[in-house]
């Protein structure tokens, strides 16, 4: 999924959060606003699985934490095998009202705070649920927040879901109602009104669409897509003729076996005309059935411990949220204030590390992360970034550097067993020393933890190719190529060329044609992007993102147009997800550039429209001169429940070469 609009800042997570939040937020870029003078200390309430930070009352925070526990229980009861915790840290921030919400991250919230009751901001390392306490009323219970929370659980458990099912399930569960000691799942939604007024989207179209492409400039169309996806899932989940959800399992199994969606849908639910008729009748009913779940008996909000945080800790939490909301200058102000108030505040040091890293100051960032780890050894993010920066500061890493990285990554997983990027790094370390079996175990573990990341499937494929097991590799590659779009799909297609004897599909390239292009064959030929392969030598973020690519025929220069560009990168890059910065991270990486060959006067090849950064499996280093040390620890940790991904038919890769 790594697609982002090109910008000098890290917009990827933000773009995703905004796209998926069903809330229209405008980013008002104004002057930096400092924290209010004399920041008030916030309160922390901890329930068994959630942490709520608030400047409101303890009672309201406890109530909110209990609602999240109830929401979690909906999945725990309904799907006993579902994994309910993810590697990213979820923090629930609960400002009292609109004004406090705006103070949290002034640039991000701008003028939108008055319109928003709650939003979920997704990230690879941190997730935030932001809820305004004054909006926690019966019937208005943060549907958008629980919608996104549902997505995070779905994405941690399902390798892929078609858009209608992903959004429909998120709307279905996100609309749960908490009343007294019960949670009602499948409660009627405001969507019903809309659906009764409009002509439904044809089902064969609905299931094939990506609403963000199809309805990119059509809010009404998008609303209808969400409403109808919700109704369809409600119908499939609750109506007796659809087996109250049983047929969804049949459908999911079929699409996982590469059966085309249209065929799988009709085999599971009936032909489109019949299902459409049934759906229309279902929507026109006056009553929607729901089911209720009793609150988990062990969850009693009065028992949730609370404490008042220090002012410095409050500032550090707010500064950290501001960083993840891309309010960087405000973030730095709060973090520096936190460190003036308490020079030993660990979170403030960690976030200062991310701020310095974002500015390209790796040395300072290393020192910040080291300080955070020294003050609080449980800070796995600081540990991870400290280790990665140390590793990449060495020009030609030797066996000792590998050993240090491996030890550091085990410490990261020791602090957070579900943080998949550490497993990816362990897979790379093992591949580097030729231990493909160990690398496969770690890569499969990452894949099982974050099945929604295309690049993790492709990492497994790369290791299987290196192990000469092309059948298994092809399965992974086809899985990604069939289901993902854009740079992820192209990465799969590129890898497909390494599996001999199979026909490979072509790349998917974004083409923006104007009416004039279609009239003139010469213009049309120029408008279709060409492809160049090489390594990024430099990128000039001050000059229209001028890009120099070292290719097999020498350096080639490209300029970026002002319009839309696509930047994609392998999910396995260590800074992936939350910390990609085109200006600092792209140089030296293998890249595929799509460009329009226009008649540039400055000697450039043209304007680039897409940049796809790729990460290969490292080539094994020469270890002949480096005997395994006596204190070597096993490279493949045994008994790892998260790596329980079916691998029955896979032959064992070659025995490991020197262990480190």
In angstroms, rounded to a whole number, what is the distance separating the alpha carbons of residues 53 and 314?
9
> Which of these segments, 31-39, 77-85, 168-176, 520-528, binds Zn ion (CB under 5 A)?
168-176
Compare residues 23 and 316 and give the one whose CB is closer to Zn ion: 23
The reply to whether 94 sits near Zn ion by the rule CB under 5 A is no
Asked if 448 and 643 touch (Cβ cutoff 8 Å), the reply is yes
Cβ neighbors of 324 (< 8 A, separation 6 or more) are 13, 121, 123, 126, 128, 578
Closest CA relative to residue 608, chosen from 567, 580, 573: 567
The reply to whether 23 sits near Zn ion by the rule CB under 5 A is no
Number of residues counted as binding Zn ion (CB under 5 A): 3
Q: Which two tokens stand for residue 459?
A: 């990492």
Compare residues 122 and 450 and give the one whose CB is closer to Zn ion: 122
Asked if 493 and 504 touch (Cβ cutoff 8 Å), the reply is yes
Least distance to Zn ion, CB of residue 20, Å: 5
> Which of these segments, 160-168, 271-279, 322-330, 519-527, binds Zn ion (CB under 5 A)?
160-168
Compare residues 42 and 160 and give the one whose CB is closer to Zn ion: 160
Compare residues 95 and 174 and give the one whose CB is closer to Zn ion: 174
Compare residues 225 and 252 and give the one whose CB is closer to Zn ion: 225
Cβ neighbors of 303 (< 8 A, separation 6 or more) are none
> Which of these segments, 161-169, 261-269, 445-453, 631-639, binds Zn ion (CB under 5 A)?
161-169
Least distance to Zn ion, CB of residue 267, Å: 26
Strand (E) or helix (H) holding 331: helix 328-341
Least distance to Zn ion, CB of residue 90, Å: 17
| Separation in Å, CA 618 to CA 219, 409, 468 | 45, 17, 16
Least distance to Zn ion, CB of residue 171, Å: 7
Compare residues 113 and 170 and give the one whose CB is closer to Zn ion: 170
Cβ neighbours of 64 (radius 10 Å): 26
In angstroms, rounded to a whole number, what is the distance separating the alpha carbons of residues 35 and 18?
24
Beta strands in 47-163 (DSSP E): 51-54, 89-94, 118-121, 126-131
Least distance to Zn ion, CB of residue 229, Å: 9
Compare residues 143 and 334 and give the one whose CB is closer to Zn ion: 143
- What does the buried/exposed string (b/e) look like for 509-527 if buried means 16 or more CB atoms within 10 Å of the residue's CB? eeeeeeeebeeeeeeeebb
Compare residues 206 and 477 and give the one whose CB is closer to Zn ion: 206
Least distance to Zn ion, CB of residue 23, Å: 11
Asked if 128 and 323 touch (Cβ cutoff 8 Å), the reply is no
Pair type for strands 89-94 and 126-131 = parallel
The reply to whether 20 sits near Zn ion by the rule CB under 5 A is yes
Compare residues 170 and 412 and give the one whose CB is closer to Zn ion: 170
The reply to whether 170 sits near Zn ion by the rule CB under 5 A is yes
Least distance to Zn ion, CB of residue 475, Å: 28
Least distance to Zn ion, CB of residue 537, Å: 39
> Helix axis angle, 328-341 relative to 346-358, nearest 10°?
150
Least distance to Zn ion, CB of residue 124, Å: 17
In angstroms, rounded to a whole number, what is the distance separating the alpha carbons of residues 644 and 642?
5
The reply to whether 88 sits near Zn ion by the rule CB under 5 A is no
Q: Binding mask 603-642 vs Zn ion (x if CB under 5 A, - otherwise)?
A: ----------------------------------------
Touching Zn ion, residues 437-496 (CB under 5 A): none
> Which of these segments, 18-26, 89-97, 121-129, 541-549, binds Zn ion (CB under 5 A)?
18-26
Location of structure tokens 């209808």: 224
Least distance to Zn ion, CB of residue 228, Å: 14
Q: Is 539 helix (H, G, I), strand (E, B) or coil?
A: strand
Strand (E) or helix (H) holding 117: none
Pair type for strands 546-551 and 291-294 = unpaired
The reply to whether 549 sits near Zn ion by the rule CB under 5 A is no
Residues binding Zn ion (CB under 5 A): 20, 167, 170
């Amino acid at each position: 999924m790594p697609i982002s609009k090109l910008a000098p800042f890290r917009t990827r997570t933000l773009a995703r959060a905004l796209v998926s939040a069903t809330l229209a937020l405008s980013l008002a870029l104004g002057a930096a606003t400092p924290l209010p003078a004399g920041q008030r200390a916030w309160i922390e309430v901890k329930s068994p699985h959630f942490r709520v930070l608030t400047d409101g009352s303890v009672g309201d925070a406890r109530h909110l934490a209990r609602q999240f526990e109830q929401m979690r229980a909906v999945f725990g009861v309904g799907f006993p095998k579902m994994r309910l915790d993810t590697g990213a840290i979820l923090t629930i921030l609960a400002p009292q009202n609109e004004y406090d919400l705006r103070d949290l991250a002034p640039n991000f919230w701008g003028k939108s705070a008055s319109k928003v009751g709650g939003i979920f901001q997704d990230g690879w390392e941190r997730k935030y649920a932001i809820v305004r306490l004054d909006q926690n009323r019966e019937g208005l219970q943060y549907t958008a927040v629980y919608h996104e929370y549902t997505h995070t659980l779905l994405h941690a458990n399902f390798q892929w879901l078609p858009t209608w099912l992903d959004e429909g399930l998120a709307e279905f569960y996100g609309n749960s109602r908490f009343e007294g000691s019960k949670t009602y799942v499948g409660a009627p939604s405001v969507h019903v009104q809309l659906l009764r007024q409009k002509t439904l989207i044809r089902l064969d179209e609905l299931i094939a669409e990506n609403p963000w492409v199809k309805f990119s400039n059509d809010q009404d169309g998008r609303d209808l897509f969400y409403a109808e996806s919700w109704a369809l899932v409600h119908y499939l989940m609750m109506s007796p003729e659809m087996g109250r959800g049983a047929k969804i399992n049949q459908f999911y199994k079929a699409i996982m076996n590469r059966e085309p969606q249209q065929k799988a849908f009709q085999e599971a639910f009936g032909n489109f005309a019949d299902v459409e008729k049934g759906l229309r009748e279902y929507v026109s009913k006056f009553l929607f059935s729901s089911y209720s779940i009793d609150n988990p008996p062990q969850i009693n909000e009065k028992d949730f411990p609370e404490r008042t945080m220090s002012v410095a800790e409050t500032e550090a939490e707010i500064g950290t949220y501001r960083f993840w909301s891309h309010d960087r200058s405000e973030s730095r102000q709060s973090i520096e204030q936190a460190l003036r108030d308490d020079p030993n505040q660990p979170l403030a040091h960690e976030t200062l590390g991310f701020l310095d890293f974002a500015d390209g100051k790796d040395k300072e960032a290393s020192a910040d992360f080291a300080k955070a780890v020294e003050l609080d050894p449980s800070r796995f993010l600081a540990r991870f970034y400290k280790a990665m920066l140390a590793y990449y500061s060495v020009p030609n890493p030797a066996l000792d550097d590998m050993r240090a990285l491996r030890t550091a990554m085990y410490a990261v997983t020791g602090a957070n067993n579900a943080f998949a990027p550490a497993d990816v790094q362990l897979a790379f370390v093992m591949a580097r020393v030729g231990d493909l079996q160990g690398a496969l175990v770690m890569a499969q573990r990452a894949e099982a933890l974050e099945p929604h990341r295309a690049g993790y499937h492709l990492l497994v494929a790369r290791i299987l190719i290196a192990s000469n097991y092309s059948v298994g590799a092809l399965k992974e590659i086809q899985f990604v190529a069939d289901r993902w779009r854009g740079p992820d799909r192209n990465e799969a297609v590129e890898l497909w060329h390494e599996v001999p004897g199979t026909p490979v599909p072509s790349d998917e390239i974004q083409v923006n044609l104007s009416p004039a292009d279609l009239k003139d064959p010469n213009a049309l030929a120029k408008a279709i992007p060409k492809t160049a392969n090489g390594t990024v030598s430099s990128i000039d973020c001050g000059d229209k993102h001028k890009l120099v690519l070292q290719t097999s025929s020498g350096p080639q220069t490209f300029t970026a147009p002002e319009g839309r560009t696509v930047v994609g990168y392998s999910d396995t890059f260590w800074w992936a997800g939350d910390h990609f910065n085109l200006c600092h991270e792209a140089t030296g990486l293998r890249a595929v550039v799509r460009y329009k060959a226009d008649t540039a006067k400055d000697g450039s090849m043209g304007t680039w429209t897409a940049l796809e950064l790729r990460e290969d499996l490292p080539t094994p280093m020469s270890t002949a001169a480096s005997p395994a040390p006596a204190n070597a620890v096993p490279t493949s940790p045994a008994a790892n429940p998260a790596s329980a991904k079916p691998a029955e038919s896979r032959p064992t890769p070659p025995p490991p070469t020197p262990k480190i």
